[in-house]
């Protein structure tokens, strides 16, 4: 089973939503976690918009990328265009993608909905490519 790391700057919105979709859509097919260049919190609006589509991410935690070992992951997905600032060992996994999605933090809820839906489509496509 492929292991996927979703990484972003603060691990509060985009990477958390991606982890939630990957765990739900990829259940039994892939393993997924998320992290940030720095840890923060799981954004309450991210929790809200994910619950609207039946996915509970309220128990997920915001963790620093430095808490993980790159060698344990097959795929690394940068959510925010921060791929160039990741430590080199994270860029050389079997799969590396930089999705460069808009940051919904501080934006209207409509932005959270749009980014959530973009993430769902990208995660579904990623899962198909990994299995």
Residues with catalytic roles: 8, 80
Label each residue of 19-39 as H, E or C.
HHHHHHHCCCCEEEEEEECCC
Question: Can you read off the two tokens belonging to residue 15?
Answer: 């990477």
Question: Can you read off the two tokens belonging to residue 99?
Answer: 């999705």
Question: Can you read off the two tokens belonging to residue 66?
Answer: 């430095």
DSSP three-state, residue 69: coil
């Amino acid at each position: 089973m492929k292991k996927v790391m979703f990484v972003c700057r603060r691990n509060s919105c985009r990477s958390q939503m991606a982890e939630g979709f990957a765990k739900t859509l990829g259940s039994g097919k892939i393993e997924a976690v998320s992290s940030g260049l720095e840890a923060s919190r799981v954004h309450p609006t991210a929790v809200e918009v994910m619950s609207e589509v039946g996915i509970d991410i309220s128990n997920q935690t915001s963790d620093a990328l430095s808490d993980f070992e790159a060698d344990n992951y097959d795929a690394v997905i940068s959510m925010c265009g921060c791929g160039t600032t990741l430590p080199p060992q994270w860029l050389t996994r079997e799969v590396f993608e930089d999705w460069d999605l808009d940051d919904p933090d501080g934006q209207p809820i409509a932005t959270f909905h749009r980014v959530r839906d973009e993430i769902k489509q990208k995660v579904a496509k990623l899962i198909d490519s990994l299995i």
